[in-house]
Amino acid sequence: MSLFRCPLCAAPLAREGGACRCPGGHSFDVAKEGYVHLLPPNRKHSALPGDDRDMVRARREFLSKGYYSLLLNTICNQILAFSGEAPVLMDAGCGEGYYTSGVLRALRAAGKRPRAAGTDISKLALRAAAKREREAEFAVASSYRLPLADGVVDVLLNCFSPLALEEFRRVLRPGGRFLYVVPGPEHLWEMKEILYDKPYPNGEKETPYGGFAYREILPVDGRVHLNCREDVQSLFRMTPYFWKTPRAGAERLAALEELAVRISFRVHVFEKL
């Protein structure tokens, strides 16, 4: 039985050959890469929502080189510390599956028996995610309408994705953990100095959310050295700055052969009450 539920009637889904079907007769094809499309057409805001091909490729190539391994290791260690023997992991806005796969591998290496599901509105991202991690279930779906039953998730991970608190509360079991990853104040500061005439730090705050108890905020700070033009541009393409940078700043960055840059994240850890 799948972790996912039918997006039309909320009944359980079961994999049957090349499709996922519910008892109500609804059927959803499984793509050759292994993901299933559970975003109804009337909930799509464009023909191809989510990250485009270039952004997915840039993120996959950049993350695969380990530049954000410090963040991944922090997430894995935190989840390992409170996970049971057979945890259910949900990665909301999973992109190309870098963090989903990394956490799953850490849990398996620790002798646990995890199950994992990842959702994203970009089918291009999920193609990459399903190829990266065959042991997880992936679906095209919105974080604001997760195709999951109530209270089935032990750990919910949200890295730089929309904050759908109502849905996160619904799918998490009581006592389940929610890890919300956001950029720290000086994340990519050296790149911002090149892109903008007057860069400013990211805001940093502790925001309580109803139905959750704060457990801790984990700072993750370090430096990485991007040693080729391709990696510099991959990092640029996977950030929001790519869409809102003045042309002169983008040209200055494009001229660089390498870049040493700070990375800074905050992992906000909550427990569902």
pLDDT tens digit sequence for 71-95: 999 999 999 999 999 999 999 999 9
The answer to whether residue 234 scores a pLDDT higher than 90 is yes
- The answer to the question of residue 1 being in a domain is no
pLDDT in tens, 134-156: 999 999 999 999 999 999 999 99
Question: With contact defined as beta carbons under 8 Å apart, do 272 and 218 qualify?
Answer: no
Question: Which domain CATH number covers 200?
Answer: 3.40.50.150
User: If you search the block for the tokens 């209270």, which residue do you land on?
Assistant: 151
pLDDT in tens, 254-268: 999 999 999 999 999
Q: Which two tokens stand for residue 100?
A: 């989903």
- At residue 26, φ and ψ (nearest 5 deg) are -80, 140
Concatenating the DSSP letter of every residue in 198-231 gives: S--PPP------TTEEEEEEEEEEEEEEE-SHHH
- The answer to the question of residue 34 being in a domain is yes
- The answer to the question of residue 30 being in a domain is yes
Segment 224-252 shows an average pLDDT of 95
Beginning with the edge strand found earlier in the chain, give each strand of the sheet holding 259-272 in spatial order.
36-37, 137-140, 115-120, 88-92, 153-159, 172-183, 259-272, 212-226
Residue 19 is inside which H or E element, if any?
strand 19-21
- The answer to the question of residue 9 being in a domain is no
Residue 133 and residue 126: Cα distance in Å, rounded? 10
Question: Cα angle at 186 between 184 and 191, to 5 degrees?
Answer: 125
- The answer to the question of residue 48 being in a domain is yes
Q: Which two tokens stand for residue 271?
A: 């427990």
Structural domains in the chain (count): 1
- The answer to the question of residue 6 being in a domain is no
- Judging by DSSP bridges, how do beta strands 137-140 and 36-37 pair with one another? parallel
The answer to whether residue 43 scores a pLDDT higher than 90 is no
Range of the domain at 227: 14-272
- At residue 14, φ and ψ (nearest 5 deg) are -130, 140
- The answer to the question of residue 4 being in a domain is no
- The answer to the question of residue 7 being in a domain is no
Question: With contact defined as beta carbons under 8 Å apart, do 206 and 187 qualify?
Answer: no
Segment 177-204 shows an average pLDDT of 96
Predicted TM-score of the model (pTM): 0.94
Residue 148 and residue 223: Cα distance in Å, rounded? 38
